Every structure is written in structure tokens, then in C-alpha cells.
Structure 1
Amino acid sequence: MNEIPSANRQIARATGTIMFAILFGQLAGLARGIIVARIFGASAELDAFLTSNRVSETLFLLVAGGALSSAFIPAFTSLLVKKENRNAWRLASSIANLILLGISLLGLLAAWFAPQIVRYALAPGFSSDPYLFKLTVSLLRVQLISVLFFGIGGLIIGILNSHQIFFIPALTPAAYQVGIIFGAVFLTPYMGIHGLAWGVVIGAFLYLALQVPVLIRLFAKERQKPGFTSFYHFSMGLANKDVREVIFLMAPRLLGVAVVQLNFWVNTWLASRMTEGSVTGIYYGFSLMLMAQAIIAQSAAMAVMPTFSAQHALGQKDEMRASLAASLRGVIFLAVPASVGLMLLRQPLVALLYQRGEFDERSVQ
């Protein structure tokens, strides 16, 4: 039982580290939102950009984002704590190959059927405006490039978190926001709203590139361990029980992510039929809500997952229950006042943050 306080302290330290990094990322996202709102306001062009961004974001989350990491980390960590490093890296290699194949196929299909996706599934209200419809399709196709970078970057986050490396992976959202800010400031004067779309691609590249030096250092340490063979194997590994376990674990999480994304798609679908700027208004409202969620709940979830996985693999059920209870208490302690504050200060907060430039009082409402 003396391991329980140690595990809880480890979770608390990791949560604090991740919370700081995520806070930095959220501040970068806030800066991005302010800059973009100042330039475009709640305009039809920004509606088109935010609508098109929904497709690449959904593909990332379904294939290589939250669904994969929540399934990959337990299986990968279990192999590491059992000292089965060779099998662990075979698993990571197979999952990387599956991600590249899956995202490439889905991305190509989404690009090919982009007009149908926008017309029937995402924003039917845009069909009445040929310019807005074509703009949304064009922006969607550009942003699909980002999914490849996000896919591999998401897997690397799982690998690093399994090795209790949290800070740099938690900074990746900030790197993504920096790319969009670069697009807004330096590309939109020449490319218009397409500058934002290419900013998304640049941000996705930075999301991946930020982690590469840390991964290389991890590889160097792994090479020194006895029994090391190779990090990469050109195989899908579908016959590998560990790969099948990850796919099996993904199923319920995949359903959860799909339901959340369906909610966003429905909101966008409905907003596309409303007045100009409705998609933008919904986006900024959700962004403020999700900011608090990311800082509090997401940081805790990222921190506890590797510890839970290790405790489960070692059969430490009492320690796992204690760690879960401590984590939930911390999340509730921070989340309740944050929720109340957002409800009470919703209008002055939106006005304070975004009401400038092209984002006028009507946009705030």
C-alpha cells in the first residue's frame, strides 16, 4: 500500500506539468482566435474555413487521436513494464503502418468526395451560395494534408507518454496554433482565407516536428538495452495479438469520439442554414468551454493513463482504485468553479477576448 502515495504523487506531478503545457497551448489558441477574429470577424469566409476544418479534425480524432492513444497506451505500456521491449516496438511499428494506410485512404476518399461531404453531410446551407460552397470544398482539400502529420504525431505522443514523457507532447497543440497564427499574420494578406488553411498544414507539421528530437533521444536509450533489434518493421501485424488488442480496445472509445464529433457536425449542419457568421459564433462559444475542459480534465487524463496502464498490467488493483479516486477529486475541485464562472461571465468574457476589428457587437451576440 505504500506504493499508493508514490503513484498519486507521480500522477500529481505529471498532471501539473501537463496542465502548464496545455495552459500554454490554450493561451496560444486564444491568441489565434483573437487574431483570426480581428482579421475576418464572424464572416462567411471564416464560416467556410471552420466548416472545412471539421473533416480533417474528425479524421484525426477517429483514426489517430483520442481513440487510438487511449487504446495504444495501455497495450504498449503493458509490454514495457513486462520488459517485452521488442514486442512493444513491433506493436508501435505495426500501428504506425496501419495509421499511414488508414489515414491516406480516408484522406483520398474525403478529398475526392469533398463536394458531396459539404453538400449533404456538413453544410447543406452553403449549397445556395456557389462561391461559399466552392470555397469550403477547396479549403477542405487543403487541410486534409494535415491529417498525415497529425496521425503519426498522435502515435508518437502515445509512445512518449508511455515512457512518462509528458511536457513536450503536451506542447504540441501550442505548436499547431503557432502554425495557424503564422498563416493568419503572414499568409492571409496574400492568399486570403486560404492562408489560414495552409497555416493548419504548417501547424500540423510543427505538431509532429516538435516531438521528433525527443523521440530520437528515446531511440538512443532503447538501443542500449539488451535484446534490441529494430524500431521499425514493414508489417501491418494483423496476426499480432497485441495489435488486435489495440484494435479491440479502440472500438468503445471510437464510438465515444464519433458521438462527440457527430454533435459538432450537427451543429455545423444547422448553423450553415442560418445567418452569416453562425458557424463562427458556435465555434468560438465551444472554444471557451473546451478551454477549461482541456486545462483541467485533459491534463489529468493524459497524466493518469500511463500510471493506470502500468498498475493494471502489474495487477495493482487497490493502487489503481486509489489513484482514480484521487484524480477524480482533483478534477471535480477545479472543474466546478470553472463551469460556474464561464456561465456567469459568458457575455463579458466573449466581448473582452474577441470584440475588436471585424468582430463587432453582433458577432459577440
Structure 2
Amino acid sequence: MKKTSRLSRVSLLLFFFFGLGKLVAIVRTVIIGRQFGLSAELDVFNAANNLPDLLFALISGGALAIAFIPVLSETLAKEGRESAWKLFSRIANLAFLVTAVLALVISVFAKPLVGWELGVAPGFSTEQQVLAVQLMRLNLVATLIFSISGLVIAGLHANQHFLLPAIAPLVYDGGRIFGAIVLAPSVGYRIAGIQLPAFNMGIHGLVYGVIIGAALHLLIQVPGLIKHKFKWFASLNLKDQSVRNVLRLMGPRLVNMVFIQLFFLAQDNLASRLPEGSLTALSFGWWIQQVPQTMIGTAIATALLPTLSDHIAAGDQAAFKNTIERSLKVMIAVSLPIAMILSLASLPLIEVAFKYSFGESQMILRATQAFLVGLLGHNIVDLCVRSFFARQRPREPLAISALGFLINLGLAIALMRWLSFGGIALANSLSYSIQGLLLIVMLNRQLPEKFRLRGALVRGGLSACLAGLSIWLVMTVISIPVSALMLALAAIVIGALAGAIPIWKDIRMLVHL
């Protein structure tokens, strides 16, 4: 019997903690949803997050972290831990300074950035725009903390330490839950017989919860830094070759992230012109799609990047290709049935979780279904982008991302005329599906052998059909005198069991990545 590989163990560890994180996030989202509903106030909160989120993604989130890990791994292997931490310190110092300057600029110009016709939310009323400015400025405090915390994750990943970075999102959500149940409400929650205090901060309490969560996100990782003998150096040294290599890789990735985040700004711009609740429906629908996307695509791709970087450093192209191919097969086989299951069985879960009306729950379901069309595309993009960065070839993902943004925006403007906010979500899915396909084609051209994915596509498609048929039979044809929630849960279990039959080989492959 084969032993579970290290890469598989890391993937399963991340799968577990990302899954646990999504369960905690469900609690957080349900609490916030019940507290504020599909309200104009929550629309403002979601819109106010966009520019701070963009800043984090560009400086120390997806842009810098993905560019950082291959160079940091190489420095650690060739020059030792002290040189690696010296490089880390220089990049972290630079990231914090740049984030601070840009946060100050956004804070000063927050009002025109919100109200401008091409800005965050020109369709909001004057009162909503004033509130959005206040919340955006508060959110920038959390962004400053994340400018360091995001890089700490990359530093620990380069040292093959994944546990504490996986726990960090849990404590972040803990801070946000604290904001939602203690700081925001006027009447305190009662949990396990204990009456919690209430600070009556309203929507501002959610933002203070975000700041508390960001601080916890950083602090929980400190023991990992101590374990790996972290040393901080008060240095920038832009002339250092390793720093230059990180910045060289970061440039295209930064532009890539700009295109990704610009669409979310455009999405909120477009949704602010639609009926009330549209923006929040998109936010919740995106979040539901992110549950399987994070557990499958992000977990595998995160675990893979240091390993792929090691294969490239060793010149082992065959191992590089085989590792990606096995991961793609797992993603394809699992993503298709999961998208089908969630699309068909989510409505009762949404109704019960949020206690919304049938019409409001249908709004969230429509957004969720449209986003789930692109689940596989998102997972493939996650993996392929990291594959290119492991090869230190950032330009190909940049070109595909630019094309994807244009497709995304054009389709969103066209489809929202007929499908309202559902058209915006569907445009996102179609764009990512096209990007994933193009990235696979471009990777194929650079490898000694092409990927063999046809069998996984057939098995995944068959699995989705069996799962969908099973759910339809349980929820529509078979009459069982139980609640809609129990029927939906039973349908999900039966659909998952039926869908697992054709892809059992691919599920087992996850153990031997």
C-alpha cells in the first residue's frame, strides 16, 4: 500500500482547515446576513471593502506572495535561513511602506473615489456614499496589518510550514464574528446561556471586527516565525539581486491582480445601478462559490507552489509536469459534480441559514448558480498561474488575465441587460473558464509531454450527471414527508454518493499527489 505523499498530506491539511474556515465563515455570514439582511447598509459595507481589498491583493496578497515564494524558496535552499529572512525583511519593509503611502492616498481621496461615475458606487445615495467613505477609511487599518501578515504566510510556506497560516483565517473570522455579535448589534446575543454585551455600533462594528481579526491573523503566526528562527533586518536594499528578482516577478503579477480586482470594482459599480440587494446577492453568491473553490483549487494550488518551485530548481521537468497533471485531474473530476450539487440543492439551505424570504433567497441562489458555472475554471486558473510563477514566467498569466478582464467586463455589460445581477456573475464564470483553457494550452506548449485530461473530463461530466439526476429524483420525483431542509441535505448526500462512483479513481489520486 502506497504511503500518502508529503504534498498530499499538505493538500489534505489545507483542505481540512480551509473547510473548517468556510464553516466558520458560514456562521459569520449567517450572523451578518440575519443582522442586516439584503439592506442598503450591507451593500455599502461590501462596496467599501473593495479598494482596501484591492490594495492588499496588490501589495502583499496574491501579487507579492506568489512572486515571493519561488525566490524565497531558492534563497533558502542555496544560501540558508538567515539570507532567506534577510530577503523576507527587505520585502516586508518595502510592502508596509508602499501600503502605508497608498492607504493614505486612498483615505484622502476616498470621497471622490466612491462617488465618481467610474468609481466604487456612483449609484448610491449621498448618505450611502458618506457611510462608504467612513467604512473604507477604517478598513485601511486592517489592510496595513495584512500588508505584513500576508507576507508572513508566504515566508512560512517557503519553509514548508502550512499549519499556522491555515489557522490564521479562522481567527480572522473570529474577530469578524465578534464584531457582528458584540460590536454591531443594539441587543446582545445570548449564547450557551450567557448574555453577551452589545455596543450598538451598527455597521461600523463590522469594520472594527475586521480590524481585530486582522490583528489576530498576524499574531497567530508569530510562533511559526519563532520556530523557524526569524530575524528582522531594518533594511530595504533595492540593489539586492534577490529583491530585484521578486520585484521582476511581482510586476506582471501586480498588473494581473489589477485586472482581477478591477472587475470586482466594476461589478459593484454595475450592481449599484440595479435594484436594492443586488450587490449583496452577488457578494453572498460569490462567497458560496468560494467555499468549494477554496477547498479544492486554493488548497491544492497553495500546497503545490513550493513543490513546483523545487522541481524547477532541480531541473526535473517530468516531475513538474506529472505533479500538475495529477492535480488537474483531481480538480476536473471533483469540481464538476460539486458545482452541480450546490446549484440544485442550495435554496433550502440559503432560506434556513439567512431566514430571508423566498424571493430574497432566490436572488442569492441565482447569483450562486451563475458563479458555480465557473468553478472549474477558477480552480484551473489558480493552479496554472502558480505553475507559471514556479517557472518564473509571469508574462503568460498577465496576458491571459488582461484578455479575461476585457471578456468579463464586456459580457457583464451585455448580460446584465437580460439577466440583471445574474448576468454579471455569469460573465465572471465564462471569463474564468476561457482563461483556464488558454492557460492549459500555453502550459502544454512549454512541457516535454502534453497533459492527458480527456478521461478526467469524461468521468467528471458523468459524475455531475449522476449527482444531478439523483438530486432531481430526491427533491422532485420522490415524495417524502420531511422539511425542505432535510430533503435538501438528503439529496446532497445521495447526490454526492452517486457522483463519487465514476470519479473514485480521481479521489484516491488526491492521496498520492
Q: Report the TM-score when normalising by structure 1.
A: 0.91
Aligned residue number for residue 277 of structure 1: 277
Deviates more, 1:329-338 or 1:113-122: 329-338
Aligned residue number for residue 466 of structure 2: none
Distance 1:252 1:350, change over 3 A: farther
**What count of residue pairs does the alignment treat as equivalent?**
345
Shift of 1:362: 3.4
Aligned residue number for residue 228 of structure 1: none
2:86 is equivalent to residue 76 of structure 1: no
Counterpart AA for 1:362:
G
2:342 is equivalent to residue 342 of structure 1: yes
Match 2:219 to one of 209, 219, 234: 209
Partner Cα separation in structure 1 for residue 84 and residue 313 of structure 2: 14
Aligned residue number for residue 227 of structure 1: none
Runs of 4+ in 1 over 6 A off after TM superposition: none
Cα deviations across residues 140-161 of structure 1 (Å, max 9, x unaligned)?
1111100111111111101111
Aligned residue number for residue 332 of structure 1: 332
- The 5-angstrom pairing of residues 175-254 of structure 1 reads 175-189=171-185, 190-219=200-229, 231-254=231-254
- The 5-angstrom pairing of residues 101-140 of structure 1 reads 101-120=97-116, 121-126=119-124, 129-140=125-136
Counterpart AA for 1:205:
A
Cα deviations across residues 336-365 of structure 1 (Å, max 9, x unaligned)?
2112223323434432432x1xx3333222
Aligned residue number for residue 268 of structure 1: 268
Counterpart AA for 1:201:
I
Shift of 1:130: 2.2
Greater Rg, structure 1 or structure 2?
A: 2
Partner Cα separation in structure 1 for residue 333 and residue 162 of structure 2: 23
Q: What is the RMSD computed on CA atoms of the aligned residues?
A: 1.6
Distance 1:349 1:251, change over 3 A: farther
Aligned residue number for residue 51 of structure 2: 55
What secondary structure sits across from 1:125 in the alignment? Answer: coil
Shift of 1:25: 0.9
Partner Cα separation in structure 2 for residue 360 and residue 193 of structure 1: 22
Counterpart AA for 1:122:
V
- Tell me if the contact between 1:81 and 1:310 (Cα under 8 Å) persists in the aligned partners: no
Q: Percent identity?
A: 37
Partner Cα separation in structure 2 for residue 85 and residue 217 of structure 1: 12
Partner Cα separation in structure 2 for residue 60 and residue 303 of structure 1: 21
- Tell me if the contact between 1:41 and 1:363 (Cα under 8 Å) persists in the aligned partners: no
Shift of 1:20: 0.5
Partner Cα separation in structure 2 for residue 241 and residue 191 of structure 1: 49
Counterpart AA for 1:123:
A
2:66 is equivalent to residue 67 of structure 1: no
Counterpart AA for 1:148:
L
Cα deviations across residues 180-228 of structure 1 (Å, max 9, x unaligned)?
1100000012111100011111111111111112211221xx7xxxxxx
Partner Cα separation in structure 2 for residue 332 and residue 255 of structure 1: 28
Cα deviations across residues 276-332 of structure 1 (Å, max 9, x unaligned)?
222111100111111111110000011011111122122222222221112222222
Cα deviations across residues 28-63 of structure 1 (Å, max 9, x unaligned)?
111111000111000011111111011211111111
Deviates more, 1:335-344 or 1:239-248: 335-344
Partner Cα separation in structure 2 for residue 147 and residue 11 of structure 1: 31
Aligned residue number for residue 296 of structure 2: 296
What secondary structure sits across from 1:191 in the alignment? Answer: coil
Cα deviations across residues 60-87 of structure 1 (Å, max 9, x unaligned)?
1111001111111000001112243333
2:18 is equivalent to residue 22 of structure 1: yes
Partner Cα separation in structure 2 for residue 178 and residue 42 of structure 1: 22
Partner Cα separation in structure 1 for residue 225 and residue 110 of structure 2: 35
Match 2:358 to one of 338, 345, 361: 361
- Tell me if the contact between 1:24 and 1:171 (Cα under 8 Å) persists in the aligned partners: no
Deviates more, 1:43-52 or 1:310-319: 310-319
Counterpart AA for 1:65:
G
Partner Cα separation in structure 2 for residue 279 and residue 166 of structure 1: 34
Shift of 1:250: 1.4
What secondary structure sits across from 1:146 in the alignment? Answer: helix
Partner Cα separation in structure 2 for residue 310 and residue 17 of structure 1: 20
- Tell me if the contact between 1:93 and 1:234 (Cα under 8 Å) persists in the aligned partners: yes
Q: Report the TM-score when normalising by structure 2.
A: 0.65
- Tell me if the contact between 1:157 and 1:169 (Cα under 8 Å) persists in the aligned partners: yes
What secondary structure sits across from 2:184 in the alignment? Answer: helix
Aligned residue number for residue 311 of structure 1: 311
Aligned residue number for residue 225 of structure 1: none
- Tell me if the contact between 1:168 and 1:211 (Cα under 8 Å) persists in the aligned partners: yes
Counterpart AA for 1:256:
N
Partner Cα separation in structure 2 for residue 267 and residue 348 of structure 1: 27
Aligned residue number for residue 443 of structure 2: none
Partner Cα separation in structure 2 for residue 33 and residue 44 of structure 1: 16
Partner Cα separation in structure 1 for residue 52 and residue 91 of structure 2: 20
Aligned residue number for residue 92 of structure 2: 96
Partner Cα separation in structure 2 for residue 88 and residue 145 of structure 1: 28
Counterpart AA for 2:213:
G
Deviates more, 1:275-284 or 1:30-39: 275-284
Q: Which residues of structure 2 form unaligned runs of 5+?
A: 186-199, 364-513
